[in-house]
Amino acid sequence: MPQRTRRATQGGFSFIEVLIGIMILGIVAGGVLMGFSASQAQTARAKMDTIASKIASGELETVRAMEYDDVGNPGGNPDGTIPATSNQTVNDITYRVDTDVAYVDDPTPGRARNYINYKKVTVTVTPSAKVTGPVVMSALVAPPNAGAIRGKATAIITVQDSLTGQILPGVPVRLFGSTSTERVAPTGADGSVVFAGLDPSDPNTGSSRYYYRAAATLAGYNTDPDTADVKQSLAASQTWNATIKLYRPAHIVVNVRDKATGQFVTRRTQTRVTLPAPQALSQTFVGYTGRFPIDTIQGEPIRPSLTPTTVEVFSDCYVPATVPPVPVPQGYPASDTQVFDVDLEPVARTGVLRVWVKRAGTTTPITNAQVVVSGGEQSVTYPIRDVDANGYADFCLPKSTSALYTVSVVGKGYTGYSIVTAVPEGATVDQTLEMGTTALCQVAIKHRLSGGQQIRLVGVGATAPYDMVRATNSSQVATFGSLSPGTYNVQVVSGYSGSQPVWVSAGSVPGLVNGNINCPSSVVPVVG
């Protein structure tokens, strides 16, 4: 009988089984490690929270032991000696400590409100490690007795937009100048900030501490001149309510284009912008690009207004244009820029008048002269034009041969001079105007009303085209200097037509004849 043979076998694990075992072991080990790591992080967070809580509690205990008047931030509201921010390091971890102190207004029924019943101290401790959040604790600190807060004054300052009246929250307000230490605090959601617990002002009117003053600053805003100096002398227990008005300065852009081509006008262009009252300022800008970005008028920021602003444009070889007046800027305060697009109609059949101004009997140009052209077949008057550095002024004019143009020139220190000339179509006419030197003079005019009144002085005859407006000073006097001798008409404002002043001659008063005054004059007439 044949013998059965057993097949030899080798016990053990296959390679796949080993890999699967390793993967299972790794997953289990990873879970254990993650749990351990999470446990460590939780322990670290709890430890930092405990340390932060101890720091906050310690700060509040320190505050409770302080003198009541010292409980506050330096320059804060209230003022005190507690730093607004400090740092403490424990176990190589830095904790930032922010301490805020505020008065609590908790009035008692039937008693006068003083806004300073007690103080609330809030301590926020934040670890530099980002594994946990800040710990916040607060406490109330009461005055030691009623006498500690008796007789204190209060200032309530509201900040609003000068044009819209909209309240402005979050605006830093500064209270300074009197017996209490300077304070700075932001306006709240209602646009107001309360400065309470103030010492009464020095009652001596000559003292530098007689007034408390308030000022507000906000990026992108200016202070309205009407509230530029907000001040009040405060008596014991007095509450002062005041408003500070701010505005976003407006900007004007004037684009001057050729109506026929739509291209910017690159000839010499004058743009005159006149702001409405209360600014009532006007300035002429000269350019050659057809684009005029304007941020100030006579050096002053442009205040937004609901009253229209006037823009007039004059350009060589084009019909002058006045843009329909609109408030500047429309859409305020979301928008602070007003764009005026001006399309000028080209003038047909023109010629060029080129004027050179020089000293009489010499070839030396006069560089401070001004030239004005009027008349012609269309009986127009062109804006005053300054000569360039070589004494030249060019005019592109409608052709005029049957009616002549009058060309007048004035300059400080020189006698006025005029000529007449024709300007044929397509021609360039050169004219030379000679001016002799003369001694300058000045006149002073007094307005019967208080300072700040406007007085206008307009040249008559040889002194044309002088035209200047000045405001009277605190002595009610406006002085016009560096005048060429001659006759000038004195004008005052009789009212307003829209946003523009209406000027009338001052009439016959001592020193004036039909509103005219001769320069030089030793008489100071009183007008208005």
Question: How many whole angstroms separate alpha carbon 478 and alpha carbon 472?
Answer: 4
What amino acid occupies position 491? Q
State the pLDDT at residue 482: 77
Asked whether the whole model's pTM tops 0.85, one would answer: no
State the pLDDT at residue 505: 93
State the pLDDT at residue 29: 58
How are beta strands 282-287 and 239-247 bridged, if at all? unpaired
The residues, any chain, with a CB within 8 Å of residue 325's CB and separated by 6 or more, are 308, 309, 310, 311, 498, 499
Secondary structure in 3-state letters for 418-461? EEEEEECCCCEEEEEEEECECCCEEEEEEECCCCCCEEEEEEEH
- Where do we find the tokens 């796949």? 16
* Residue 402: both structure tokens together: 């049957």
Half-sphere exposure of 219 (CA within 13 A, CB side): 1
State the pLDDT at residue 10: 52
Q: Each residue's pLDDT tens digit in the chain (528 positions)?
A: 455 544 445 555 566 766 776 777 767 655 555 555 555 556 667 888 888 899 999 999 998 999 888 998 998 888 899 999 999 998 888 999 999 998 888 877 767 777 888 889 999 999 988 777 899 999 898 888 877 778 899 999 999 999 999 999 999 999 999 999 999 999 999 999 999 999 999 999 999 999 999 999 999 999 999 998 999 999 998 999 999 999 999 999 999 999 999 999 998 899 999 999 999 999 999 999 999 999 999 999 999 999 999 999 999 889 899 999 999 999 999 999 999 999 999 988 889 999 999 988 889 999 999 999 999 988 888 878 899 999 999 999 989 988 999 999 988 878 888 899 999 999 999 999 988 877 778 899 999 998 889 999 998 887 777 888 888 998 899 998 878 788 999 999 988 888 788 999 998 888 888 889 988 888 889 988
State the pLDDT at residue 33: 54
State the pLDDT at residue 3: 53
How are beta strands 350-359 and 428-435 bridged, if at all? parallel
User: From the CA atom positions of the chain, what is the Rg in Å?
Assistant: 39
Question: How many whole angstroms separate alpha carbon 93 and alpha carbon 91?
Answer: 5
Would you give the distance in Å from CA 229 to the centre of its chain? Answer: 16
Question: How many whole angstroms separate alpha carbon 402 and alpha carbon 17?
Answer: 117
Q: Which domains does the chain have, with CATH numbers?
A: 56-145 (no CATH), 153-247 (2.60.40.10), 251-344 (2.60.40.1120), 350-435 (2.60.40.1120), 441-527 (2.60.40)
268-293 burial, b at 16+ Cβ within 10 Å, e below that, comes to bbbbbbbbbeebbbeeeeebeebebe
149-165 burial, b at 16+ Cβ within 10 Å, e below that, comes to beebbbbbbbbbbbbee
Half-sphere exposure of 2 (CA within 13 A, CB side): 2
Which one, of 247, 192, 193, 250, lies nearest residue 225 by Cα? 247
Would you give the distance in Å from CA 77 to the centre of its chain? Answer: 27
State the pLDDT at residue 211: 97
Distances (CA, A) of 14 to 9, 17, 19, 24, 28: 14, 5, 9, 16, 22
